[in-house]
């Protein structure tokens, strides 16, 4: 019984191989490619010369080619987006920061902080000037600029000055 199963299986395999392989079909006129040298072309069209050297781009302006980005300094555009988002959070929230007694005591107004940008793509610290330093509003600013992420680069860590605004509660400008 086992021998019969091998025989039937072997015949099926050989038959399948014969059906897949075999002689090549003879070519006729319908097997030619759609485009040949005899195919009529529109005026001015030429077939590319396979032996011609590649064309250089030194002739004129290039289209859709972005300038190469520097990797030795931070990406100013992408980092600016992240810093603007943090500054917006400061403006909307940090003016309402309260002390231990539950009072919003300020100070309020505009100030320039320094944000340390690490080359690994993470903020490394924030320096808040006085009179904001050590106050609830200043602590809120520091937290807003902690754990920011932006594109990393190959250069050295850098410091960026950034302006933030702390709005006194009840004196928020009307939204547009």
Distance CA 94, CA 139 (A): 9
Chain centre to alpha carbon of residue 8: 59
Residue 27 backbone phi and psi in degrees, to 5:
-80, 140
Give yes or no for residue 147 having a pLDDT over 80: yes
pLDDT digit string, tens, across residues 65-103: 666 666 778 899 999 999 999 999 999 999 999 989 898
Give 16 or 52, the one with higher predicted confidence: 52
Residue 152 is encoded by which pair of tokens?
A: 């990393």
**Which CATH code of 3.30.2420, 1.10.10, 3.40.1620, 2.30.180 fits the domain covering 76-166?**
3.30.2420
Three-class SS of 75-125: CHHHHHHHHHHHHHHHHHHHHHCCCCCCCCCCCCEEEEEEEEECCCCEEEE
C-alpha span between 164 and 141 (Å, rounded): 8
pLDDT at 131: 94
| pLDDT surpassing 60 at residue 22 | no
- Distance separating alpha carbons of residues 141 and 17, to the nearest angstrom: 75
Q: Is 125 helix (H, G, I), strand (E, B) or coil?
A: strand
Going by pLDDT thresholds of 50, 70 and 90, the confidence category of residue 151 is very high
pLDDT one-digit tens code per residue, 105-136: 889 999 999 999 999 999 999 999 999 999 99
Backbone angles phi, psi at 125, to 5 degrees: 155, 165
Q: Please give the pLDDT value at position 60.
A: 59
C-alpha span between 174 and 163 (Å, rounded): 21
pLDDT score recorded for residue 85? 96
User: Of 38-42, 64-68, 106-110, 169-173, which gets the smallest average pLDDT?
Assistant: 38-42
> What's the average model confidence in pLDDT over 139-161?
94
Instruction: Kindly state the percentage of the chain with pLDDT values over 90.
Output: 47
The whole-chain average pLDDT of the chain stands at: 78
The whole-number pLDDT of residue 133 equals 94
């Amino acid at each position: 019984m086992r021998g019969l199963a091998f025989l039937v299986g072997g015949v099926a395999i050989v038959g399948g191989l014969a059906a897949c392989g075999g002689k090549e079909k003879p070519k006729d006129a319908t097997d030619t490619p759609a485009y040949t040298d005899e195919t009529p072309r529109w005026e001015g069209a030429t077939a590319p010369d396979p032996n011609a050297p590649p064309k250089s781009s030194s002739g004129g302006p290039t289209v859709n080619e972005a300038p190469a980005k520097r990797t030795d300094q931070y990406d100013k555009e992408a980092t600016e987006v992240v810093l603007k988002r943090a500054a917006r959070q400061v403006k909307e929230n940090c003016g309402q920061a309260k002390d231990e007694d539950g009072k919003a005591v300020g100070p309020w107004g505009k100030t320039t902080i320094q944000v340390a940008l690490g080359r690994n793509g993470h903020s490394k610290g924030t320096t808040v000037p006085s009179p904001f330093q050590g106050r609830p509003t200043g602590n809120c600013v520091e937290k807003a600029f902690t754990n920011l992420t932006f594109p990393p680069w190959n250069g050295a860590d850098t410091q960026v000055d950034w302006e933030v605004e702390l709005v006194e509660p009840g004196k928020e400008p009307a939204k547009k």
